[in-house]
A and B are shown apart, each in its own frame.
Chain A
Amino acid sequence: MENLIKNNQYNIGHICTRLQCEIGNADKISMRWITPDMQHVDYSFNDLEDQSNKCANVLQSLSLSKGDIMFTLLPKIPEQFFVLLGALKLQLIVSPLFANFGEEAILDRMGDACAKVLVTKKSFLRKIEKIKNHLFHLKYVIVVDSESDLPSDVLSYPALIKNAKSVFETPLTGKDTPSLLHYTSGSTGKPKGVLHVHGGIITINQTTKEILGLKENDKYWCTADQGWVTGTSYGMIGPWSLGITQIHFSGQYSPGIWFTILEKEKINVWYTAPTALRMLMKEDSALFKKFNLKELRHICSVGEPLNPEVINWSRKILAKETYDTWFMTETGAIMIANRLGIDVKPGSMGKPIEGMEVAILTDKGELAQSNQRGILCLKAGWESMFVTYLNNEEAYKQKFKDGYYYSGDVAFMDKEGYYWFAGRKDDVINTAGHLVGPFEVESALLEIEEVEEVAVIGASDEILYEKIVAFIKLKSGNIYNKELELKIQVHIANKVSTIAVPQDIVVVEGIPKTRSGKIMRRVLKAQYLGQDAGDLSTMEEF
């Protein structure tokens, strides 16, 4: 903390760049960016400082100022980091989007936030062109991969920064100043904008040290995309606030390539997702014997519960411990984890981080007994706690009761103080570590002309943790066939996201609803899984 916050300057952009230069890390590599064809480019902390300063100056020259909201729609390329850090220095609120979002997902988020500026690349402009007329507050679209401006008022980032100064004096930024905005899906309604503040860097920094176990001269690789909270908290802020060298790889999942990176780059700590680890488990174990991972101390995992099988596999095949970590977009940083220094209980979430008060509360708000299930709650007030849902303060308030944040996760604590995840209280689907709201998928499905009614649920899956299952009722006269299945898949991928495409589509005669018209997803889920559907007294007949 004493090396992190100087003169009450909490600015994330400043701490990750200028401060690192001031404490002697100017020439140290901050980021080795590895291209899909395995070429690499190194950037020092001084480079990060210069590039983010140029960006801050450019954004300022466009009359953007504190509190304005900027989105990025970029893959994992250096400009993503320069732009995010530069905008944070200027005290803009920044919201990086997952690059595979479809146009409706982008519109929902940018529209809700009244975004003023978008930084993207040329190939994504086709998505933006379709929705631009609905983005009433959008003043600037900037592309990072064109040397000159493009028609339709699209500005060139290289042209803008060409003559920009590499010196920028970051304004003194209080801990309560808004910083990052990540959208998260709920079981009803549109995604909600989870707003964080610069002061969150304190918890992120603490957990990067204490939970991920990063040390000064480590090389660290976080595979998360910056479109998700892990990608910003632990793929940007945490390691750079500690002056640690990060590897960023912009290629796709590939076991051979990933392990080549782990070996060749001498990665010390690797932070990845259970889905990726479960996919690796499917590979022939002979593949892993080819690689020397002696520098890798441990693996950390986030996004979904980590199965004991994965932990046992990594112990047996890789001779490494894998630590599960738990947090959510709203918490901003890891809250509960297995880690070095405590005995790992495979399958558990681990124990709370230092200073965090966690409670399992029953429906009546009472403290649950050991091993009794309830809602996982956190005593409000930690530094990285979100400060609101943008434009939806009412939904934010509903998350808190008697000083506790109600996570919506159902869990229990055993007698030794370990927490165990048991499911979600709501209908949000966790597929491959990404939360998908049924409503988003259902809305897009209803746009397909052959579809009359829909309902979407999550069902357990060996690889993805949960897969998306769509129940559809077709309009009279339509027949379900492979062509329609493909049409549905393509539509969802392009309108919502590739991660939101249903893995299974079930054609039904009708969707079970309550008499007030609410979809009874639990009935569909029970039917799909061959379980008892429980009380059906409120169901309307169809």
Chain B
Amino acid sequence: MDVRDKMNGIFREVFNDDTIQIKPETTANDIEGWDSFSHVTLITAIEIRFNIKFSIKEFMSFKSVGDLIRCIERKVVV
């Protein structure tokens, strides 16, 4: 399972919606319920599932799913 597939599962879990299909260009405006509060839950879920940690700067910088995937891929490779 690649990062995007795994991420898709996390999005479905966090936002309780089995129809979500994320793309790199997906932003908070495309997912119902993705607000600044649920963003924290989403990041927690990603950190747990990928066993990584984001810095505060990274946390604040994510504007799209693509940003998240690129950051995760860098950390997973390292």
Contacts and interface: CB of A to CB of B under 8 A. Distances in A.
A399 B22 CA distance: 48
Interface in A55-72: none
A253 B36 contact: yes
B13 A490 contact: yes
Contacts of B34: 252
Interface stretch (A306-314, A389-397, A492-500, A525-533): A492-500
A100 interface: yes
Given A124-B32, A252-B28, A252-B35, A501 B17 contact: no
Nearest to A434: B37
Contact of A498 (B13, B29, B33): B33
Contacts of B28: 252
Interface string A1-43: 0000000000000000000000000000000000011000000
A480 to B, nearest CB: 13
Interface residues of A, number: 26
Contact of B40 (A100, A253, A501): A501
B41 A493 contact: yes
A461 interface: no
Interface residues of B, number: 22
Given A251-B29, A252-B29, A490-B41, A100 B35 contact: yes
B48 interface: yes
A493 B48 contact: no
Contacts of B37: 100, 432, 493, 498-499, 501
Contacts, number: 64
Contacts of B17: 123, 126
Contacts of A279: 36
A490 B17 CA distance: 12
Contact of B32 (A123, A251, A253, A490): A123
A24 B19 CA distance: 47
B21 to A, nearest CB: 13
A501 B45 CA distance: 14
Contacts of B29: 36-37, 250-252
A56 B28 CA distance: 33
B48 A489 contact: no
B67 to A, nearest CB: 13
Interface in B34-50: 34-38, 40-41, 44-45, 47-48
A489 B33 CA distance: 13
B65 interface: no
A486 B44 contact: yes
Contacts of A519: none
6 contacts: A36-B27, A100-B32, A123-B17, A252-B34, A493-B38, A493-B41
Interface of A: 36-37, 75, 99-100, 123-124, 126, 250-253, 279, 432, 482-483, 485-486, 489-490, 493-494, 498-499, 501, 503
Task: List 9 A-B pairs, minimum CB-CB distance, nearest first.
Answer: A36-B29, A498-B37, A494-B16, A489-B41, A498-B38, A252-B28, A482-B48, A123-B32, A100-B33
